[in-house]
Amino acid sequence: MNDLLALIAARGDLAHIALFLWASAMSTLLWYALRELAASNRRFDLFLRELARFNRRFGREG
């Protein structure tokens, strides 16, 4: 493992590895944020459906 790290450092590929790690972390963060946003939208839609059902049931007629 030390030989591999020494080879990477000697060839100057350390910046590429750092960039890859940063891009991977940001992609994972984006995926997580989009997943949470979709779940939030589903919960909000469910809330609005329940609110509409409540209004139909107990709302004023007329």
pLDDT bracket for residue 61 (50, 70, 90): low
| pLDDT value of position 29 | 98
Backbone angles phi, psi at 13, to 5 degrees: -85, 5
Residue 44 domain-assigned?
yes
Instruction: Write down the residue that tokens 């972390």 correspond to.
Output: 25
Q: Note the Cα 49 to chain centre separation in Å.
A: 25
Quickly tell me which residue has 């750092």 as its tokens: 18
Give the tens place of pLDDT for each residue, 1-55: 788 778 777 776 778 888 889 999 999 999 999 999 999 999 999 999 999 999 9
Model-wide pTM > 0.85: no
**Position 8 in a domain:** no
pLDDT for res 18: 85
The residues near 17 (Cβ < 8 Å, ≥ 6 apart) are 8
**Which pLDDT belongs to residue 6?**
80
Boundaries of domain holding 58: 20-62
Secondary structure (3-state) at 59: coil
Domain contains 24: yes
Number of domains comprising the chain: 1
Would you say residue 13 lies in a domain? no
Is residue 9, in this structure, part of any structural domain at all? Answer: no
